[in-house]
Structure 1
Amino acid sequence: MVRGEGFEAIANRLCLRAEELAPGAICTIVGVNGEGRLKAVASPSLPTSYGEAITGLEIGPSVGSCGTAAYLGEPVEVDDISTSPLWAPYKDLVLPLGLQACWSFPIKTSDGRVAAAFGFYFKDKRGPTVFERSIVNTCVHLCSIAIEHALTQKRNHALAYYDQLTGLPNRRSFDDMMFDRIVSMDPAFGLLVVDIDNLKIANDTMGHVVGDSLIQEVAARLSQIVPNGASRIGGDEFAVLIDGCRSHAELAAAADRIVEAMKTTFDCAGYTLTPQITMGGVVYEIDGVDPDLLRQNADFAIYHAKSVNRGGYALFKRDMRTSIATRMSTIRTVGEALNEERVVPFYQPLITLSDGTIHGFEALARIKMDNGAIVSAGQFQAALSDPSIAFRLTDQMLRHIARDMRGWMEGGFNVGHVGINLSTADFHRGDVEQRLLAAFEPAGVPLDRIVVEVTEGVFMDSTDDKVVHVIESLRRKGITVALDDFGTGFASLTHLIRFPVDCIKVDKSFVDRMLTDHPSQLVVELLVDLSRKLHMHTVAEGIETQAQAGWLKALGCNTGQGYYFGRPVDVEATTKLMREWQPGFPQAASLAAKKKRA
């Protein structure tokens, strides 16, 4: 054991030494597996056919001396094999070898479980002598120590190389498995990196028991589709090696099988869940031959999949390295800005078209750079595909907006409404309502002054109407809900009926073309008319000319927004704008006249 020999080598040594001390005795040691079946461990003086014959036998009350001793957990002494009922089915196995008697002693672990049996065979019909009994007692004790040592090694190996939750190989094992494939005679394999989508949300909303069950379920399905190929390499991350894969087409076929395997629901702790995963894949030689490069390229592929095909997969393409690197750089930039509180709201006015008064504002995220430059949301939009960044950005915006609105109210300004953009990431955690309340209630800002702006994509990303239920709850608290960028993406007129919203914002792309493109004009007319009949408010986005504003006013559109009325500006400039525009301030009349002349 000190030299690190395995249990079989140690058992062999014990048998040979016992036979030296007890001439005429033949020693054997058999193991007992977790299913209660025998496995030949050491029988150095018997032919290999003996070990092959007993391996796999199930222990029981009449399974020779060793099988019965293991079953009963106590010594079994047979002084005549030929007449013993314990040996009736097995005597032809040992009698031809000249073995006439057998004494077996169970070998137990520290917790009392029978792990093996020590057997002494004799070539004449007799029982063991007192000296032979002492030899067996000593050998059994030594075997117990050796077994405990082997079990400890096995446990340590499992801890080092296998994931304890799923039983799959861990990252260390995966690295070894990929290296073995690369150095083989004819390496041919693909690698899929698999992420469980929204695992943190499952843990936070349903508990870690459900989250762990989700991990185990995904692991089991991966193992079923790709036996001996799946490893768990992170909290929500798996790696799957596809042997024999030489092309992207073959890898895509394997990915399709995995996606299909995840579509079945399962029940856990009162919840019915459908595992959702996103994958990125590479093929050895096509996408790299170095293990680190292959893994990195697979990560690039999965980052790409999460941004364009969440719930599906993407296979690596070389241009991903550039685009993902740019995205990761943007994420770092926004993350640093959030850490330093440099993400601030700029406010763009929404104007009532019928009388030219300020109806409210939309708060738009901006980053103040170290050099004083202001970066608009369009320039860091890629970073918002990271749910953590999107979530943190919303929280920082909410704090600033609540503070600004409190200041305006104390200054006597009629703020109207302020629109706040929320993303899919904000709804995934299920605490949107609590976050809004936590931001605005302490500041004393009435919730009926808040407009939550969401795109159709936010609704469509929710397969269980969770977003719909949250929106309905917000509306019951007095918050107005606007459907932003309507007419793009997943646009459908049925969404106006299905989604619980109070306002639609006609996308800038239609407003840009409505005076020159007849179909765009018809779309705007239809939306304004339909929203009026559905008792919804209409906002036209992207108004840049007086002609656009005039045509929309004549059409009956309620509110306009765009550079014609004002660009997004910081809180100080917005305060100045309200002071000039607000009825009751002397600057209001002259500013309105300027707008009219424009």
Structure 2
Amino acid sequence: MKTVSKKTALQQLTKRPRQILSGPHALAFLPAFALAAHLLGGPLLMMLVATGFPLYLWRTGGLDFLNGPEPSAAPPHFLDAPGAPALADRFLADARDVHQSVACLLIDIGGLDRVRHLNGGAAMRAAQDMCLMRIKAHLRVGDAAYRIGDARFLVLVGPAARLDLEALLQLGARVQSSVEDPAALSEMTHYLTACIGMAHSRRCAADITGAGFLEAVEAALEEAALHGASAIRAWSPSLDRNVATRRMIRTSVVAALEKGQIEPWFQPQLCTSTGRVSGVEALARWVHPERGVIAPGQFLPALERAGRLSRLGEVMISRSLAALHHWDAAGLDIPSVSVNLAEADLRDPHLSERIKWDLDRHDLAPERLAIEVLETVLASSDECAVAKNVSTLASLGCRIDLDDFGTGRAPIATLRRMPIQRLKIDRSFVTGIGDDPEQRRILTAILSLADRLNLDTLAEGVETSGEHALLAQLGCDHVQGYGIAEPMSLDAFDTWLPMHDAKIADVPLLSRKA
């Protein structure tokens, strides 16, 4: 016969009362028990019950709530990292058993940090719970939704016969609309955003694992985040290639910069009176040994996050001046090169010394280098730090160009206060000038302003010969754009320039009064 130890018997005896008499409500029984003891046995029994019952609760764990939850305990609606792939595996297995499909949504909620900043941690937790409740309101029985991070939520949609991509997109739109409804928290109204990535098992490999399913939905969310805080994207095989490219860029861009793979390519700028090259702009390109040419929009954010934009500025100036020296030696007439500097460069107290050293090293006059400063940088930066460097470079003899003029918030007074010598008119003012009279009037006003302030002008984004001719007639001094030539490597530019000079040799000059 199986014997039961005293310890085991005690555990069995106390198990049921412990389940009933535990938690904050446990002490509510004490007055009733004490009153019953007084009626049945008088004051002595009442004293025994009043002291013995709390001791019993303490002995059986009924007062553990006074110590608070264990630090490692997670709320029931929170799913830890190891639990997510296992749950996805279960959903996928259930779908395979009934020959149906499942789906996964990964949702990043924007604005929760602001809730915590303005109203504290309790308000943020309330916002998290509210978001989860709003998400669950659109799910069926058998679907699952969990919070898996401070602002990230995972939804697994259970097996369904008619779960196609259209139905999934509609679900995502409903969830997004619900989450983004105004939220009243701590007597304030907050506006959250929901960025959603989704994956459908039918679009994935037949033997995909739960971990692979989550990787797919993470790729979709990463793609969605690139398109805004309220974007929705569904996974497709091409997304994996995009994500792989972005991850490659993030992990290898700094090494590529130091290895010399990121180099200046040159786009010519033409004088509208003569048609000859009046200068070139140096534009960064990553010449990857396997992937070919990578555009700056793909790698500049990674360099910025790595804090290496200043190093990129150094490389661009040094190699651009080396190109000028090369052209001089080859007998090619390139008056100047323009380099765009980021705000981080313009805050560097040693910037002017470094540029002077580079100019001396290549035996070039300062007038051969133009520094392009974005109008948005002048509008948003600390005026003292940036203005000092700009003024010092102008005193050195470098030309200062105000880039993307008309797109920032820099006041017109900046044109007189700063030593700016040329306005680079943004392409948004150039596109369509042949067909849009209003656009043409705006451009004419900009050119008139520059003329009155004795500033040179250069129009960016010139795509057609008609735009080129019209800009010349309106009085723009220089033009640049893909309609003239794309940015080229140093070797390609060496080939292009003689061909261009030969082409314009017998062409009559463009007249601004035609």
TM-score by length of 1: 0.54
Q: Do residues 255 (structure 1) and 203 (structure 2) align?
A: no
Relative to 1, partners in 2 of residues 1:507 and 1:103: Cα closer, same or farther, differing over 3 Å?
Answer: closer
Partner AA of 2:10 in structure 1: L
Asked if structure 1 preserves the Cα contact closer than 8 Å seen for 2:22 and 2:57, the reply is no
Distance in 1, Cα, partners of 2:281 & 2:181: 42
- Give 3-state SS (helix, strand or coil) of 2:312's partner: helix
State the shift of 1:556 in Å: 0.7
Residues 1:169 and 2:79 are matched in the alignment: yes
Deviations 1:456-505 (A, max 9, x none): xxx8xxxxxx9953497887554754228xxxxxxxxxx75856687453
Tell me the residue number matched to 1:314: 232
Tell me the CA shift for residue 452 of structure 1.
Answer: 3.5
CA spacing shift, 1:305–1:360, aligned 2, 3 Å = same
User: Size of the alignment, in residue pairs?
Assistant: 437
- Find the partner of 1:540 among 435, 455, 459: 459
Name which structure has the greater RCO, CA cutoff 8 Å, separation 6+. Answer: 2
Instruction: State how 1:272-283 maps to structure 2 within 5 Å.
Output: 275-282=192-199
Aligned residue runs from structure 1 range 522-541, under 5 A? 522=437, 525-535=440-450, 538-541=457-460
User: Which residue of 2 is the match for residue 443 of structure 1?
Assistant: 354
One-letter identity of the residue aligned with 1:294:
F
1:292–1:434 Cα change, 3 Å: same
Out of 525, 538, 552, the position equivalent to 2:471 is 552
Match of 1:14 in 2: 10
Q: AA paired with 1:350?
A: Q
Cα deviation for residue 529 of structure 1 reads 0.3
SS in 2 for 1:58: helix
Alignment-derived partner of residue 147 in structure 2: 231
Determine helix, strand or coil for the equivalent of 2:354: coil
CA contact (8 A) 2:57 2:63 kept: no
CA 197–297 in structure 1, closer or farther in 2 if over 3 Å, else same: same
Q: 1:365 aligns with which of 284, 289, 296?
A: 284
**2:25 corresponds to which of 31, 34, 37:** 37
Map 1:139-154 to 2 at 5 A.
140=59
The answer as to whether partners of 1:528 and 1:556 remain within 8 angstroms in 2 is no
Listed one character per residue, the Cα deviations across residues 324-382 of structure 1 (whole Å, up to 9, x for unaligned) are 414533652675354232111223243443466866542212223438x96262xx75x
Gaps of 5+ in 1: 1-8, 19-26, 39-56, 69-76, 89-99, 108-115, 119-139, 423-431, 460-465, 485-494, 582-590
Alignment match, 1:58 = 28
Q: 1:168 offset after TM fit, Å? A: 2.8
Return the alpha-carbon distance in structure 1 between the equivalents of residues 277 and 346 of structure 2: 27
Matches within 5 A, 1:364-383: 364-370=283-289, 375=293, 377=295, 381=297, 383=298
- Residues 61-460 of structure 1 aligned to structure 2 (within 5 Å): 62-65=31-34, 81=40, 83=42, 104=52, 106-107=54-55, 117=57, 140=59, 155=70, 158=73, 162=74, 168-179=78-89, 181=91, 191-195=104-108, 219-226=128-135, 229-233=145-149, 237-241=152-156, 246=163, 247-248=167-168, 249-260=170-181, 275-282=192-199, 291-308=210-227, 310-316=228-234, 320-326=236-242, 328-329=244-245, 332=248, 335-341=251-257, 342-354=261-273, 361-370=280-289, 375=293, 377=295, 381=297, 383-384=298-299, 387-388=301-302, 391=305, 394-404=309-319, 418-420=338-340, 432-433=343-344, 437=348, 440-441=351-352, 443-444=354-355, 449-453=370-374
Unaligned runs of 5+ in 2: 137-143, 329-333, 357-365, 391-399, 416-422, 508-514
Residue 92 of structure 1: aligned partner:
none
Residues 323 and 500 of structure 1, relative CA distance in 2, 3 Å threshold = farther
Q: Secondary structure at the match of 1:400?
A: helix
Q: Secondary structure at the match of 1:226?
A: helix
User: CA 1:157 to 1:181, structure 2 compared with 1: closer, same or farther past 3 Å?
Assistant: farther
CA gap of 1:564–1:315, structure 2 versus 1, over 3 A, is closer
Q: Percent identity?
A: 14
Name the aligned partner's letter for residue 297 of structure 1: A
In 2, are the aligned partners of 1:345 and 1:401 still within 8 Å (CA)? Answer: yes
Pair member with larger Rg: 1
> Does the CA contact (< 8 Å) of 2:38 and 2:46 recur in 1?
no
Query: Conserved in 2, the CA contact under 8 Å of 1:265 and 1:275?
Result: no
> C-alpha displacement at 1:219, in angstroms?
3.0
Contact 1:542 / 1:561 at 8 angstroms: preserved in 2?
Answer: yes
RMSD of the alignment, in Å? 5.9
Q: C-alpha separation between the residues in 1 aligned to 2:249 and 2:57?
A: 66
Give secondary structure in 2 for the equivalent of 1:403.
Answer: helix
Is the contact between residue 344 and residue 368 of structure 1 (CA under 8 Å) also seen in structure 2?
Answer: yes
Tell me the equivalent position of 2:403.
482
Determine if contact 1:281/1:298 at 8 Å carries over to the other structure. yes
Cα displacement (A) at 1:15: 6.4
Helix, strand or coil for the counterpart of 2:471?
A: helix
2: CA distance between counterparts of 1:360 and 1:217? 59
The amino acid of 1:532's aligned partner reads L
Matched AA of 1:307: L
User: Is residue 402–residue 440 contact of structure 1 (8 Å, CA) maintained in 2?
Assistant: no
Residues 101/352 of structure 1: CA separation in 2 closer, same or farther (3 Å cut)? closer
How many angstroms apart in 2 are the aligned matches of 1:28 and 1:547? 91
Q: Write the distance in 2 (CA, Å) between the matches of 1:193 and 1:563.
A: 40
